[in-house]
Structure 1
Amino acid sequence: MDNICFVFVGIHLLFSIIKFSTAIDAITQTQFVSDGSSLTSKDGSFKLGFFSPANSSYRFLGIWNRKIPLRTVSWVANVHKPINDSSGILMINSSGNAVILSQNTTVVWYTSSSKQAVNPILQLLDSGKLVLRDGKDGNSGIFLWQSFDHPIGTVGLSARRVSLSASEDACDSYGHCGAYGVCTISELQVCKCLKGFKPISPETWEQAEYRQGCERNKTLKCQNNNGFIKYVGLKLPDTKNAWVSQGMDMKECKAKCLGNCSCIAFASSDAKGGSTCTIWFSDLIDIRRLLNGGGQDLYVRMPASELETHNGVKVKIAVIIIVVVSIVCGLLLSAYCIRRNRKMSKGQTNKGQEEDLELPLFNLSTIASATDNFSFNNKLGQGGFGTVYRGALMDGQEIAVKRLSEHSGQGSNEFKNEVILIAKLQHRNLVRLLGYCIQGEEKLLIYEYMPNQSLDFYIFDQAHGKLLDWRKRFNIILGVARGLLYLHEDSRLRIIHRDLKASNVLLDKDMNPKISDFGMARTFGGDQTEGVTRRVAGTLGYMAPEYAIDGQFSVKSDVFSFGILMLEIVSGKKNRGLYRLDDNLNLVGYAWKLWEEERSQELIDECFKDSCNLSEVLRCIHVTLLCVQQLPDDRPSMSTLILMLGDETNLPQPRKPSLLIGKHSSEADSPSIKQETSSTNEFSISLLDGR
């Protein structure tokens, strides 16, 4: 608290709830408390909100008791880092911790829960305690974080309370802090004991009743090794029981005090008439710290053991400071050298990237307003890299906002690099990036909104499936194929998606497909077409065998996934279901079995079977079996595949697929681990998750 001085002479706090029609006691990850709004405990006793002390424009987040006429602040969050305007926002970030942002960018305070909640809730209890808990735990009393456990910035609920009365200065009251207590009006807790002293009655001290004062931690004995602790800038104690002598300098005054076993403290001052020595022989009462730069020095007599502790702490602090400064200087020098070498090696690369970053940069408050503060009602879906929300900008344009989670493993530089690359991916069958936002711990991607959800919403449901006739399904197949061809061959870098599936194909208002969720994508330059990773990432049922087993991925891995997707579109079935119980076959195995028996038409979805172009559907099944062959070299490229779908030339005979064993369909969308280390020069690209 010594780092921040603000005067609590008087204050009247007026908070109004502008976001909610009724008082609320808690917020979730989709809500926040801004300056001007507040939380109120269920019984109405306590309120949390932003406030300014008297004679100060700084803003603090605090808790106070509404039922005490004399306004009393019991806890302050950002006591060491005040906000200098009304831009403060209290919210729950993507990692599940409570955080206060200033100017929507600067983190001024945060909780530090090591456990991430499934459904984090920040709640003000009837006891006046602010807690962070997991909604799934209900009212079990299990808290991930609570204000009482973190006294930094707190004044203590059971009290250590600070009067914010506008009518009087508590330090003007004689002996307000009792013997050996120092009154400091700028502190949240106005009374503190001198060093080496403690409250006589901690209970009454907690109730802001300080007049009983303080007592020594260790008894003062008359010994030669006694010393003094110096206090500066004080209004000296009451001199009723003091001895004053003119013409005695500092050295003489100190010797006089040490020579008298009854001496408690001394002060020496220089005046026009000469030096003055004041010595106290009884309790030091009515001490006050002055804030205007005035005041005098007071020397309080202490036993040697207390002096050793006091000086020892100073020595330890000095050593720590020297060590820390040395380490920091070393790190800064190393960082400078590394940065300089990188700049020299990269030349103008970084400058070019900054020039390439031409997407709009959105303000966090704009996106929060567009999504109704990331309302649960606007939630479209959630994946390993974050949550997607529907929103609308001020001009009425609908958007989809992806709020990246802390576990996406991305820093600001990596995020910017991804934005630069994504901005270069312009194709009618890829979801279009409209802009981005980096503020504080928040990293957001803003996309065009797809009103017809994702492909899996239709093809795996008999009722919704009727909305997609064969012509629409065939157009979707061709559109996805063109999108993959662009990624593999026509974009600036060769990109392997690695997670192509029905839920990652979104549909616009005209049912045109757009590939989304590039969260596991990998990029290659030049003629490189494949890589190896030690940890596999993707969705089981769509992964090629060489990738699922050996970690080898290439453009042909995407071709395999496309074959599975095309098979699901034709059949309306999920690949990882069981379709021949006696043979324990998955969809690929079932399709191969029907192919061998020349009964492939039995695979066609009943939703469009009577109205489809049979030869066209059978050709798609044939191409599918070419895509899911065991060896990557046997599979067609995307450019060849598109030609196969578009003409009537004879197709080669497919070889038997290897992954024919099925699993229960409830496992169909089970993802594997998404964090991996690769032998290629690669980085992750986070795009919109399908619903």
Structure 2
Amino acid sequence: MGFLHISLVLCSASLLPSSASESLLLPNKPLTPGSTLTSNDGTFALGFFSPSNSTRNHYYVGIWYNNIPKDNVVWVANRATPITDPSSAILTLTDRSNLVLSNTDGQLLWMANVSAAGNLSSSENITGEATLDNTGNFIIRTSEGVVLWQSFDYPTDTLLPSMNLRLTHSRHALQSLISWRSSQDPSPGSFSFGADPDQFLQLFVWNGSRPYRRSPALSDYLLIVGPYMESVNTTIYVTIIRRIDDEIYLSFGVPSGTSTVKIKMDYSGKIKIIVWNSNMLEWNVLKAEPNHECNTYGYCGAFGYCDNTGPIATCKCLDGFEPEDRINGKFSEGCRRKETLRCSRGNRFSTLTAMKIPDKFMYVKNKSFDECSAECTSNCSCTAYAYTNMGTTAINGDDTRCLLWMGDLVDTERRIGEGENLYIRVNRLSDKRRGIILKIILPVVSSLLILICMWLVWICNCQAKQRNKKIWKKMISEALSTSDELADGKFPFINFREIVLATDNFSSSNMLGHGGFGNVYKGTLECGKEIAVKRLSKGSGQGVLEFRNEAILIAKLQHRNLVKLLGFCIHGDEKLLIYEYLPNKSLDAFLFNSTRKTLLHWSTRFNIITGIARRLLYLHQDSRLKIIHRDLKANNILLDDEMSPKISDFGMARIFDGNQQQGNTNRVVGTYGYMSPEYALEGMELMEGREHKRFC
């Protein structure tokens, strides 16, 4: 989860003026407003406080971080019975080791009853002492060190490291974190956090008695949250443990010496993992749930799920289901099966991955995956199942987790990199699919004859293509036989498979551009060399001659001022030319792009213009062949990494004799839909920076 910077304006305890700080609370030394108990390391303090910015004159006994200035209260004793007159309040440890908060009139405001805690019989009279531990735990002990009562057994809204939250209730009551009513009111609020009373495998946030947010079902007993690397390097270890009282607890810890971390049930309804940023002097939220309305309990209805894989969490239906409200596509009523489930016709199970599995499951112990699957398959009422091997022996003696669902699937989610497989029962074949299959099977016999005929035709075509391929290779090789580059082995035939791998099967994401006779793709050979691949369109009648013409011309010229041809490939109908890759692509990519055209300063334009002129002069009179390009335009001028122009696309070019000044052609050449008179009428595109479309 990304690190969230959220400045919390919650509760800063306004402490009563302190006159003394003690480490022990003894029967003959009560605690009064202005006095505090402090842990040995100075981290925590216990005393009287009033929430800051509170409009009511209410005071409480609580525990807070001693050196953190805001939102520092972690435990409150008298949440439901505030002190209205602090001058008369007194916290006393009685001779029977009960902790009593009262006023001078003897009115009882709050009491920690040692006998009720089960650690002392009502007839016993043992004098103890109360201390504030370095962990933030307020403990009443006997002189022999036996714990009679501790504040960690009675949490309020905050879970501290090494503090245990009871998840089962075989011998003791469940424990939960209960939010404040507001940032200024510590009285019990609407939201609480704890274990499912019927199944400790999942945790809940409740709004009153209604589920508000449910955790994924536990698939392990050690959860690692983090590390978080922005302004704090903290890894949080959340564990599920069984203690000597045979109850199961949730606890968390952080490595020693790391930042102050706490888990808090916030009054907003979010369970938060919060860390103190000592540099910014504020609390930062590392994780908060729910983080979207879609993630609240049952938001997408029965058989719907919240999809968290996109930029915005949205409701969707499980496979084989559609929205109950078919007209509006709403999810307030959940989803329904597209077709009624019929066990008699046979079913199958559709696998959904990365899912937070639904609520209301039945836990079956000591099952293998096959046994778990068979358990659901054999019961027509079973709508889904999920299986996990816990990896280590679980705290209940079982290292597997087989979960079955017998009704609606509620509160399901999908997340990236999280979750598990959920197997949902669906019809083996729907009526619609069965009809489609019948329509396919009936004409199969007659189609076989057609397929055989087509196969024979294909064989003939393949043989013809192979012959054509050999003829092409021979023709081009003979035409190139006078080339020194070919003799040196610098202009090879390249394997079609190499080109497919280099261009990711001619992926559209690798396409650099397209011309009259095909597309150009970027590719990377296995050796790491980048190439540009010109792929002639299969249906282009003109492309055949242009392919031969361009291959022969560039191979014979191979000049540094012209784009370099590395090789070619003929594979069936495929005809490909492989060039060197120029990173700045073609000139039109700069001229006609409002952003990139600003890179063409006048000096750069002038160098490009003179460079093109020098290349044309080379073609017309300095090369060993007199070449007329006949299709020179902006997208046929390529730019290297130094913005030096190179002429490409010689498919329309024509070779003149040494003394020939003019020639005739039998067909129109150039790019279709494009004529050149605009250069005379409106100026060069390179000079004007505008694309000419008047004659298109």
Q: TM over 0.5: same fold?
A: no
More helix as a share of residues: 1
What TM-score does the superposition give when structure 2 sets the normalisation length? Answer: 0.30
More strand as a share of residues: 2
Higher relative contact order (CA 8 A, sep 6+): 1
What TM-score does the superposition give when structure 1 sets the normalisation length? Answer: 0.30
